[in-house]
């Protein structure tokens, strides 16, 4: 030790004494805690090691964990958490009155079931070490996840593994919940839970591994997906298409009866909260508070804004009126399309992606009439088409100025990247579509997927759940 370090050490001791960190309710020796964390921050100092050895704070984060990044990721996690109730509002307001609760239940039950499956199994399948690039090992299964240390594989070294698990869980919850819009107003509750749970294990966990695991094969191919444009949106859109085909049309659609949304104020508020949560979804996907997070925040916000404008212009031109449901749908379309691109594009291209998506999705929600499937709440038209479009536009607009870490992916030029984006999306979409068909067919062999005609007429709320949404 050189003499010049002696004095700092004293300072630290003093400091630590002052900041006696006994939390309320716990009487542990004051000078034992928080030191480690504090020292981690000042980690450049030679004397740290010694100090740590002396008095470790057993509740502090491990060395290497960044506290500002961790705070940010906690925030991002709760933001994505709130997206699922928001989705319940968005969808729940759009169905007919008699199906409002059942539609909201489709989202809420995912918060229950997928969380438990994730804790016990699927987080590890998606983010455990993988040698083959197809599926993770079971190192984190059965809840074995450290709370103060990063994952052992070092892929995300700056936040604790428990937090990473939670953040990724929120994505795993909302993805199958998105599918529910396609099957609303007719699918049996039990069959829905079975389908989404199996889908989460058999489809979601693998594709999350392929794209986001450090050794995932699509990751290595060079396809870009910042926050889940393909894993979340295109995959759920294709699963939704499969489900529409397996389930058939609602009676009311067959009979050409008007299907009027029960509460568009709830849908609008849901869209507003989705926007709010989506900041955590996209900017949080930087997994740190860095340039990419801020860039993703800007691009995401601008895409939502431009998506709303795009859809409304399209409506105004086509039917002469700009609708509230159009505003809600357009902002969601913008958010869907910017999801894969958020951390790779500059602000104006970000807005442009949203704008294009707003217009394209405004048209694509009519595909179902053209092709004759019944996608109740337009999951295919918005998440399927929007997710695919976003993947491609990511290839078009990804820029090294926005994100200096993608030099490799851009080596072959923008066209090559677009090609990789195309491949990545097609593989995931096709896998999700085919696997969904197989899962649904299998379930159908055991139990009907669809409510009976009487139940459909009575409404899912009363028939399946024994409730009514409103008694006004």
Partner 1 sequence: MVKIEAIIRPQRLEAVQTALEELDVHGMTVTEVKGMGKQRGATYTYRGSQYTLSLSPKVKIEVVALDGDEKAVVEAIVKSAQTGEVGDGKIFIAHIDDVVRIRTGERGDAALS
How far apart are alpha carbons 262 and 344 in whole angstroms? 39
Q: Which DSSP helix (H) or strand (E) runs through 383?
A: none
For a second copy, which is the closer residue by CB, 184 or 244?
A: 184
- Judge contact between 84 and 61, C-beta under 8 A: no
- Say which residue the tokens 């889940």 belong to: 228
- Say which residue the tokens 């993988």 belong to: 130
How far apart are alpha carbons 60 and 56 in whole angstroms? 8
> Is 433 among the residues that bind a second copy (CB under 8 A)?
no
Which residues partner with 187 through β-bridges? 450
Under DSSP, the state recorded for 452 is -
Which residues partner with 450 through β-bridges? 187
For a second copy, which is the closer residue by CB, 248 or 272?
A: 272
Binding string, residues 251-280; x marks residues near a second copy by CB under 8 A = ---------xxxxxxx-xx-xxx-xx--xx
- Judge contact between 196 and 179, C-beta under 8 A: yes
The correct pick among 12, 207, 268, 362 for binding partner 1 (CB under 8 A) is: 362
Least Å distance, CB 367 to partner 1, is 11
Cβ-in-10-Å burial (0-12, 13-18, 19+) of 257 comes to exposed
> Is 326 among the residues that bind partner 1 (CB under 8 A)?
yes
> Is 313 among the residues that bind partner 1 (CB under 8 A)?
no
How far apart are alpha carbons 411 and 414 in whole angstroms? 8
The correct pick among 205, 365, 385, 439 for binding partner 1 (CB under 8 A) is: 365
Interaction residues for a second copy, span 157-216 (CB under 8 A): 157-158, 160, 162-163, 165-166, 169, 189, 211-214
- Judge contact between 388 and 333, C-beta under 8 A: no
Binding string, residues 96-135; x marks residues near a second copy by CB under 8 A = xx--xxx-xx--xx-xxx-xx--xx---------------
The correct pick among 50, 143, 363, 448 for binding a second copy (CB under 8 A) is: 143
> Is 410 among the residues that bind a second copy (CB under 8 A)?
no
Among the listed ranges 368-376, 441-449, 451-459, 462-470, the one in contact with a second copy (CB under 8 A) is 462-470
The correct pick among 13, 139, 455, 462 for binding partner 1 (CB under 8 A) is: 462
**Residue 314 to residues 349, 355, 368, 377, 431, Cα–Cα distance (Å):** 20, 10, 18, 19, 32
- Say which residue the tokens 């309320």 belong to: 24
> Is 2 among the residues that bind a second copy (CB under 8 A)?
yes
Task: Kindly report the number of other CB atoms within 10 A of residue 201's CB atom.
Answer: 17
Interaction residues for partner 1, span 235-274 (CB under 8 A): 255, 257-261
Among the listed ranges 235-243, 319-327, 427-435, 446-454, the one in contact with a second copy (CB under 8 A) is 319-327
> Is 470 among the residues that bind partner 1 (CB under 8 A)?
no
Least Å distance, CB 66 to partner 1, is 44
For a second copy, which is the closer residue by CB, 14 or 254?
A: 14
> Is 53 among the residues that bind a second copy (CB under 8 A)?
no
Q: Which does 332 bind (CB under 5 to 8 A by kind): partner 1, a second copy, none?
A: none
DSSP E strand boundaries for 86-186: none
């Amino acid at each position: 030790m050189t003499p010049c370090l002696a004095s700092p050490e004293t300072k630290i001791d003093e400091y630590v004494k002052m900041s006696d960190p006994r939390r309320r309710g716990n009487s542990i020796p004051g000078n034992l805690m928080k030191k480690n964390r504090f020292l981690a921050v000042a980690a450049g100092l030679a004397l740290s090691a010694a100090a740590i050895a002396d008095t470790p704070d057993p509740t502090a984060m491990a060395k290497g964990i960044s506290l500002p990044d961790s705070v940010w990721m906690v925030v991002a996690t709760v933001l994505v958490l709130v997206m699922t109730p928001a989705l319940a509002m968005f969808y729940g307001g759009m169905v007919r009155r008699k199906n409002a609760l059942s539609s909201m239940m489709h989202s809420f039950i995912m918060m229950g079931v997928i969380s438990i499956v994730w804790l016990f199994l699927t987080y590890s399948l998606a983010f455990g070490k993988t040698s083959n690039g197809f599926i993770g090992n079971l190192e984190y299964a059965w809840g074995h996840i450290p709370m103060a240390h990063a994952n052992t594989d070092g892929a995300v070294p700056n936040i604790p593994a428990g937090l990473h698990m939670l953040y990724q869980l929120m994505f795993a919850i909302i993805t199958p919940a998105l599918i529910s819009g396609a099957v609303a107003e007719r699918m049996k509750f039990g069959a829905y839970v079975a389908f989404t749970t199996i889908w989460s294990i058999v489809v979601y966990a693998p594709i999350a591994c392929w794209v986001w695991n450090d050794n995932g094969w699509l990751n290595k191919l060079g396809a870009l997906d910042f926050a889940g444009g393909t894993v979340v949106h295109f995959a759920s859109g294709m699963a939704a298409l499969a489900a529409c085909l397996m389930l058939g049309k609602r009676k009311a659609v067959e009979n050409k009866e008007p299907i009027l949304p029960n509460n568009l104020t709830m849908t609008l508020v849901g869209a507003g909260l989705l926007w709010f949560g989506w900041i955590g979804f996209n900017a949080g996907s930087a997994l740190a508070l860095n340039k990419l997070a801020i860039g993703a925040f800007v691009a995401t916000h601008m895409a939502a804004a431009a998506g709303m404008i795009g859809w409304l212009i399209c409506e105004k031109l086509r039917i002469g009126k700009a609708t509230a449901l159009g505003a809600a749908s357009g902002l969601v379309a913008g958010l869907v399309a910017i999801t894969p691109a958020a951390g790779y594009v500059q602000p104006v291209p970000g807005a442009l992606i949203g704008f294009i998506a707003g217009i394209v999705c405004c048209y694509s929600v009519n595909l179902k009439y053209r092709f004759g499937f019944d996608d109740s709440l337009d999951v295919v038209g918005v998440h399927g088409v929007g997710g695919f479009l976003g993947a491609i536009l990511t290839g078009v607009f990804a820029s090294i100025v926005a994100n200096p870490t993608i030099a490799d992916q851009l080596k072959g030029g923008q066209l090559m990247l677009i090609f990789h984006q195309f491949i990545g999306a097609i593989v995931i979409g096709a896998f999700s579509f085919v696997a969904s068909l197989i899962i649904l067919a299998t379930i159908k062999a055991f139990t009907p997927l669809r409510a009976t005609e009487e139940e459909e007429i009575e409404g899912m709320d009363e028939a399946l759940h024994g409730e009514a949404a409103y008694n006004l």
